[in-house]
Chains A and B, each alone.
Chain A
Amino acid sequence: MTSSLALSSTTFIYALASTFYIASFAFKKQALAKIGFYTLIIGFVDNTAGIILRWIESYQMGYGHAPFANMYESLVFFSWTVAVLYIFVEFKYKESIIGVFVSPLVFLAIAYASFDPSISTKISPLIPALKSNWLIAHVITCFLGYAGFAVAFGFSIMYFIKPKDPASPSIFAKLPSWELIDELTYQMVVFGFLFLTIGIITGSVWANSAWGKYWSWDPKETWSLITWMIYAIFMHLRMMRGWHGNNLAWVSIIGFIAVLFTYFGVNYLLSGLHSYG
């Protein structure tokens, strides 16, 4: 098997998993969500295999680097981190219905990586600046952070569609309790924040060892700091000002827009040292 085969099948399996989750929600069939969950796990295993194979292939080609070196590889890894985080949450809280809001993100990231013609899927050699063990630590932590925020974003959407009246006949009345949504969103933000913090820190330490400057206000750096500040605001609003519900969900959504801009916008619209997210 090759990595490209593994990763294209992963895209397909994730699509299937999303479909099961959505169908389970739409037709109120718990069993479909269970199937969705197992499908997601299979997709995740396939995704893992794809990443490992790609890593091996890069060695066979003589380049020998971890598969975090371009936009394609980063998107594949992004899907992976969101998937692993979500699987953990469903495993712990046993609320399969929330998968409706997360599994499409997992699918979209890898689908975008495969189908956007401007994204090259080739394994390419590393430029000298990226040849460092810090690359792996930096990329993994940043992407765990992004994944936390992505899942938090998925959960935030629930605030806007769950009816306030518990007796409502809408299918959205079945969503988890407000308390749990609140708690889950917060846990995901906290998780994302910790890893974004470590991601920014590893990036700084790396920059210091590669260029002698731990911070140079490069657009990507600046945008990751902006994102960090938005989520710091989120936490202070929640803990010190007692914000909850919709208002706080808006902050989480703004934060995720900042994540997306840090990830994609900076590459397409601004210039800097980073070759991708």
Chain B
Amino acid sequence: MSNLICLFVVIPLFTAFLIGILYKLHNSVADTLTNVCIFALTCLSVLFVSQVAGNNALVYKIGGWIPPFGIVFVVDSLSVLMLILVNTVSLFAAIYSISYMNRYTSKPYYYILFLLMLVGMNGIIITGDLFNLFVFIEIASISSYALVSFGIQHEELEASFKYMVIGEIASTFILFAIILLYAWGGSLNMADIAFRINGDSLGSANSMVRFVSVLFIFGFGVKAAIVPFHAWLPDAHPSAPAPISSMLSGVLIKVLGIYALTRVLYSVLGITFVIQNVLLTLGAISMVAGALLALPQIDFKRMLAYSSISQVGYIILGIASGNFIGITGGLFHLVNHGVFKSLLFMDAGSVEFATKTRKLNELGGISEKMPITHGSFLTGALSIVGMPPFNGFWSKLLIIIGLAQSNHTGLALLAICIAVVTLAYYLKIERSVFWGKLKEGLEFVKEAPFSMAFSMIMLAIICFVGGLLYFHPILKDAAQVVHQGTIYANHLLK
């Protein structure tokens, strides 16, 4: 079974270049190949659930080299949780693209970049080697820069340039931090470095770990768009085509930012009290600033982008709360946010597809014309504001309980208040886009085509039943991986 791990990288990489060769044969080659490939990946990731039950981890050694020397791919519960999320969201984004991307020229290039981005994200999740992590981050980032500028209009290019300069400086700092760790410990294997930092008796690790943690928080913080580093996100995410917006906001910021940050800070460097407080502060600032900045927006997708910043704050708060319930809530919210934010961006794309505008003041009263879009948007919005029984309620509840249990009552109250602000700006979208009288010029609006409607309905169903994930052991196992910290790496090396 552990030999199958490398397929998460191999299948999409191979398909991407296969599309490059074969797309001239027929118009539907690119569509079919991409969807079949991602469907296979989704099935594969679900297969791994039973393999990692009870905190088991599978290791694949590339080229048969023994762990501290060669590159390893590691799959544990946290990885499987992320793999299922990434591949499921990608599957629906790819199905959505079949109709949506007809507006653009050169659809095959789009699919190639899409698959390369997926290669990068899957690679980040399964890799057990720090330099390999950097390489996959770059693969995912470079494809996302190209995808943001895919429309090559004024706004797209401006957003992409901004995103690229900020993102690349962050990547360079991540590389710098990785090399500092190598210079100190003489190893790039995550488990090996964790082992060396734990077993350090001279005390030389402390100052190095502190400096490297700062570099990592900056680097991954930019990728995750935590607030002082968020400037690129509200430009880049709305400018991309809708399925890419949903991929970027739904999974890319989580994998490149939050997952990598959690993995490096918790499993490799070992979390300390100071770093935990830094993360709590950054999380609280993101949560408040994202929500308050979202309120005055007049662009549909831009408001959703700011909402992502706010929700990333919730996830960071949950993970940094330091107790098991909080971490479970943080990871649960990560998965849920991946689902409902991609759903909301798809709805925004569907509205834009039908009406050719994203300005809230030019839209109005289209709920009767687009019942599926409205219904799925309502489901997504109710989930994100935390309305029971949708999935967002349970994860926010767990985060708030976790914060209260580790004596951060103030932050818990803040999280509740921001949930109300979230409700306010989603009501604003709901009121100005879907409810009320039909605006002039929107009489001929039609419901989205089948493939787009299908993706939205499926994601809405996942939102509705997603709360049940709490009862599945995979979530608690994943939280256990984060909670155990560096002890987990020792268990890998044996």
Genuine A/B complex: no
Measuring CB to CB, which residues of chain A are less than 8 angstroms from any residue of chain B? none
